[in-house]
Amino acid sequence: MIPFIVRRFVVLLLTLLVVSVLCFALPYLSEADPARSILRARVAELAIDADAVEGLKARYGLDRPLPVQYASWLGNVVRGDFGYSFTNRMPVGDQIGSALRVSATLALTALAIAIIVAFPLGAVAAIRPGGRADNVVTFITQSLVALPEYWLGPLAILVFALHLGWLPSAGWLEPAHVVMPACVLAFRPLAYFTRVARASMLDVLNAPYMTAARSRGLSVARSIVAHGLRNATPPVMTLFGIWLAGLIGGAVVIEVIFAIPGMGRLVYNAVVNHDIPLLQAGVVCIVALAVAINTVADLLYLALNPALRASRHAG
């Protein structure tokens, strides 16, 4: 177990290093002149003069060779200093910190909704595979996957905020602001969770020992709660980890539609404004988080599954 963890940790660090180089270097390599693009982000193209460009280069250290810039950037990042945004000149670290909190809240709420709905749906479908309930659930999950969130989002705002007035339309101040985006965001993971829950419940409900237990008088409800749920939890939790990593930062469209100051919108704004420090830091943080969540999920899975632990340890 221990060697495996150590190996995973080394891989994790290596991955992060490679990713950080890519995230740092690519935006600079693609721009003919970063200083010019910074100025372009602030003022109109015509107003840029050579003096301003040179001054900016000297101030941000952009005249140094790229590897030197990377080394100093990485050194600062390790100490938690991501530099300053090119556009609003605020510390990038602060912006990312608050955006991460917002996105994590949104993603966790959405995934909680998805899980709460997915288990009952999966169970209903698994009771009689191929039956009417199963077909209906399958059709619902397929439809949810095919629904674009940039269609549902504005529609939900129109109905629930403008017409019914039940919920605020956009923004991020009070708990009520979480409801609508979290529900819209929950649809796709909900569909996948349901599929997985159904499939893993089927695995156990169709097993010969379950037929034996049922013939000895175990009720359907009990078989689902005691055996189906238990069997479906680990695979759904694995998916949960993958989705959590993906939704923190990946919910760009929803965050833009609902004006939520999260990671997705931060990266989107960085792209639109050519704000290189913000882009670098945002992408590095999202990747680091994804890799970390992924590793933790793997280790948890390993800890919960002794059979796998033995085989991974040997291999």
Binding mask 245-274 for another protein (x = CB under 8 A): xxx-xx-xx--x-------x--xx-xxx-x
Task: Please report whether residue 299 would count as binding another protein according to CB under 8 A.
Answer: no
Task: Please report whether residue 104 would count as binding another protein according to CB under 8 A.
Answer: no
Residue 166 tokens read as 């039940």
**CB-nearer residue toward another protein: 149 or 174:** 149
How many residues at the interface with another protein, by CB under 8 A? 65
Task: Please report whether residue 113 would count as binding another protein according to CB under 8 A.
Answer: no
CB-based contact 228:123 (threshold 8 Å): yes
Min CB(49)–another protein separation in Å: 25
Residues 50-89 that bind another protein (CB under 8 A): none
Neighbours of 52 (CB within 10 A): 16
CB-based contact 276:69 (threshold 8 Å): no
Task: Please report whether residue 117 would count as binding another protein according to CB under 8 A.
Answer: no
Min CB(42)–another protein separation in Å: 17
Alpha carbon distance 280, 266 (integer Å): 11
Binding mask 131-170 for another protein (x = CB under 8 A): -------x---xx-xxxxxxx--xx--x---x--------
Angle CA(106)–CA(108)–CA(112) in degrees, nearest 5?
A: 120
Residues 10-39 that bind another protein (CB under 8 A): 11, 15, 19, 23, 26-27, 30
- Give the footprint of another protein on this chain (CB under 8 A): 11, 15, 19, 23, 26-27, 30, 129-130, 138, 142-143, 145-151, 154-155, 158, 162, 188, 192-193, 195-196, 198-200, 202-203, 206, 232, 235, 238-239, 241-243, 245-247, 249-250, 252-253, 256, 264, 267-268, 270-272, 274, 279, 283, 286-287, 290-291, 293-294, 298
